[in-house]
Structure 1
Amino acid sequence: MTPEEMASVREDLEAFAAELFDGFFRADQRRWGQAYVRGLLLDGRRKSVEPMAARLGEDGNRQALAHFITSSPWDAAHVRARLAWRMHEAIGPEALIIDDTGFLKDGDASACVSRQYTGTAGKVTNCQVGVSAHLATDHASAAVDWRLFVPASWDPASPRADEVKVARRIRCGIPAQVGHVEKWQLALDMIDETRSWGIDIPLVVADAGYGDAAAFRHALEERDLPYAVGISGRHTAHPAQAQPVQPVCTGTGRPAEMQNPEPAQPVKDLVIAAGKAAARPVSWRQGSRPGKGRSGFKRMYSRFVALRVRPAGRGVRKAAKDLELPERWLLAEWPTGESEPVQYWLSSLPSGMPLATLVRLAKLRWRIEHDYREMKQALGLAHFEGRTFNGWHHHVTLVSAAHAFCTLQRLAPDPKDTAQA
């Protein structure tokens, strides 16, 4: 990068940071917020406060940076809202993607550290778990909200509370009102918060860790939010053509409720009954590995079955008199060479949705994995060494800001192309 290009990027960063931190009343908070984001963007293996301070030159005040990120009372939600407004405009998102990632820890002094499962390690290990929400489309995505998961062992109101961990809550600055709730409920909190910022959510995408919770799907329907969420094959449903019937009433008591004539079946059985011949080939995006495609990269390709079904359980109705179970998409990936489907989704997208579009949107979750990889490998997402609840939220928010800045730089037109035009 030429000195002129570096100067241009520095100016862009200053303007971006000024927009994010405009609501800060104190000039020193605006200064250290920009410095912290710049430190995350500078080359270097470790992105904790001390090594970043060593790279920041005149802004390399370790004590000031540590105070800003760990103790300074600024509201992370304020920055996230501004970040969401900026990235919604830049990306034009097709979905809000929900997922969680692990922050591996050696010790047990940091807020909400516990032995728990994380896909980051693929096992139960000592870690924190953060739930995040990302605005996304095929070409770009940005993390705009976060929650730190509080294990039951950290919640004094839980029967599984650990006295030692509960005693650490004050030292870690965990607010008294913050307790253990399921990750899908944290996801709903973020969805509600994102909408409160005036952000339109066209679709919610999540894996089976969230889609398996019927309460999560029902809550999305209560909010009139379309979804495409992973589920496990054990969930049950009726074929779309199944209609409830009124049982014959032989007594004088209360009439029996409408019932389906056949019991619900596992979705796996419904897809297998449709047969492998029902699977259709779909290519949904360009992959990252070299291939023989026109772009030089391999296309992502598989075979899919899409059925209209009525998920078992009454779920959410618009009116009490509506006794018919809602009709939804059941999407299953059934690759060539596999004896049975390998992945399933439920979706409330319209019945006329083309299969290729349905697959592409359900598979859009890949963007969140891309974001996690970039934020962890290049921007120090998991490098925060502070122990406080607010410090964790401050750090992940500013890492999201650094990642968003990189995304904006990638989306910006090349000055050379503009000059040639």
Structure 2
Amino acid sequence: MVLNRLLGVVTAEQVGGWDDDLWDFFLGFSHWFSRADVRWQAWKYLRGLMAPIERRSGWSLAEHAGDATPDKMQGLLVSRCLDRDKLRDEVRSALVAAIGDEAGVLVADETGFIKKGRSSAGVQRQYTGTTGKIDNCQLGVFLTYHTRHGRAHVDRELYLPKSWTDDRDRCRRAHIGDDVPFATKPEQARSMLERAVDAKVPFAWFTGDEAYGQNRALREWCEQQDIHYVLATRKDHEVASGLHTTTRVDALIGKVRAGAWRRMSCGDGAHGPRVYDWTSVPIRTEFEHGRRGWVLARRSISSGELAYYVCFGPRGTRLRRLVATAGARWAVEESFQIAKNEAGMDQYQFRRYDAWYAHITLSMAAAAFLTITRAREAEKGAPPATTARTA
């Protein structure tokens, strides 16, 4: 078997142990495949997702598994003998056990899956950051868990535009149940946050981009639940600046004196520390649970371009904590990259709604195993991670 994203130069004993570890990891959730043949097919599918195959299509996964046709692989994804949500929960529990941290951050973000035609569940022409333009694609909304020990996706939802939910016949053809309603991306993020809270995932902060920061209902729900957040927002977002007045965030930050800006890193990126100038201004209103609110601003050192965030958290929260939380949002990009490149998340060729959830959850499981392995080897003092593939 081949494992990807391995940890530098390691011993033969470590490499040999990873195959056994993957089997043990699989056994932790294998009981959610209620038939032995489906369970065995899931094991082969999981191993195939982590193999050095050029593209993990049904045919290539079948060939890697020794199957004559892709029928069994395709049958696995639509099988009623697989509990997709229980599988998700088990993967999340395994991740929490390996990288859990009370100071962790939950990140909501989406990614696009480029498609042809109109039959794949949820597909339509819509903007996706995957290509940076409007494209024919599906959009998956994900919740990512980020801690000092590692990061990985812990939940997922397929976004269904109104062009789908308003056409129940079209939904039925893609095996989308009549009980599946339209939900905005912030509503999907809230549902995933609720599940994380119910599962007692340890975390201190929640973050997301403007799609979530601009949603008042999501922010108010977080405040009611005492979920601390740092959420990106637009420059024309208005916040309380007095007893009966509001001010745009760009105007509020524009009044900050030059000496109030602090240069600091919000985390490491592909080219080293991401260093910007930062400042924050308190929001003049009372929040639930005795919390405080702030407007956080980020200024590019090279161009002077500004970005804004609205924040909610404990009194006395330091600027460095708000900055670190804002920076955690970029961690999700690495998680998407690993899941797509190393666990075949975007390499599927089916149309059904239930098949999407099966494949995505198994891909999340494969990526979670890599994160867990990386954290375990780091504890042992193994060399830093590389992207090299090792047989």
- The correspondence for 1:155, drawn from 152, 165, 173, is 165
Q: Give CA-to-partner distance per residue, 1:335-379, whole Å, 9 cap, x none.
A: 33545x521111112231222222011110111110111111222
Within the candidate set 361, 364, 370, 2:328 is matched to 364
Q: Does the aligned pair in 2 maintain the 1:284–1:360 contact within 8 Å? A: yes
Amino acid at match of 1:328: G
| Equivalent residue, structure 2, for 1:292 | none
Aligned mate of 2:120, from 110, 120, 127: 110
| 2:142 maps to amino acid | S
Contact 1:102 1:130 in 2 (8 A): yes
Which has the larger Rg?
Answer: 1
Task: Indicate if the aligned counterparts of 1:76 and 1:397 stay in contact, CA closer than 8 A.
Answer: yes
Distance 2:162 2:254 in 1: 39
Question: Where does structure 1 differ by over 3 angstroms across 4 or more consecutive aligned residues?
Answer: 1-7, 336-339, 414-418
Q: What CA distance in whole angstroms lies between the structure 1 residues aligned with 2:340 and 2:318?
A: 36
Query: Contact (CA 8 Å) 1:279, 1:303: kept in 2 or not?
Result: yes
Q: In the aligned structure 2, how far is the partner of 1:408 from the partner of 1:337?
A: 37
* 1:137-176 aligned within 5 A: 137-156=147-166, 166-176=168-178
Partners of 1:414 and 1:148 lie apart in 2 by 33
For residue 192 of structure 2, give the secondary structure of its aligned residue in structure 1: helix
Alpha-carbon distance in 2 for matches of 1:169, 1:362: 37
Retained in 2: the 8 A contact 1:138–1:367?
no
Q: Could you say which residue in structure 1 is the equivalent of 2:239?
A: 237
CA contact (8 A) 1:83 1:401 kept: yes
Does the residue aligned with 1:383 lie in a helix, a strand or coil?
A: coil
1:414/1:343 CA distance change after superposition, 3 Å: closer
Deviations along 1:84-107, one digit per CA (max 9) or x if unpaired, are 111112112411111111110012
Alpha carbons of 1:268 and 1:221: their partners in 2 closer, same or farther (altered >3 Å)?
same
Gaps of 5+ in 1: 245-259, 290-297
Q: Distance in 2 between matches of 1:32 and 1:3?
A: 28
**1:74 and 2:76 aligned:** no
Q: Distance in 2 between matches of 1:396 and 1:76?
A: 10
Alpha carbon RMSD of aligned pairs, Å? 2.4
Match of 1:83 among 88, 91, 98: 91
- Structure 1: distance between partners of 2:151 and 2:380: 25
C-alpha deviation, 1:155, in angstroms? 1.4
- Are 2:376 and 1:412 aligned? yes
Q: How many residues align?
A: 371
Deviations along 1:250-306, one digit per CA (max 9) or x if unpaired, are xxxxxxxxxx2xx311010000111333211112323332xxxxxxxx322111011
The 1:184–1:304 alpha-carbon spacing in structure 2 relative to 1, beyond 3 Å, is: same
Please tell me whether the aligned partners of residues 41 and 72 of structure 2 are also in contact (alpha carbons under 8 angstroms).
Answer: yes
Q: Which position in structure 2 is the counterpart of 1:50?
A: 59
Corresponding residue for residue 395 of structure 1: 359
Specify the alignment match of 1:197 in structure 2. 199
Residue number in structure 2 paired with 1:65: 73
1:95 maps to 2:76: no
Write the letter of the residue equivalent to 1:368. V
Which structure is higher in RCO with an 8 Å CA cutoff and minimum separation 6? 2
Q: Report percent identity of matched pairs.
A: 29
What TM-score do you get using the length of structure 1 for normalisation? 0.82
Mapped partners of 2:105, 2:293: distance in 1: 18
Q: CA 1:172/1:219 → structure 2, altered by over 3 Å: closer, same or farther?
A: same
Q: Give the aligned residue type for 1:70.
A: V
1:207/1:175 Cα in 2 relative to 1: closer, same or farther (>3 Å)? same
> Helix, strand or coil for the counterpart of 2:283?
strand
Counterpart AA for 2:300: P
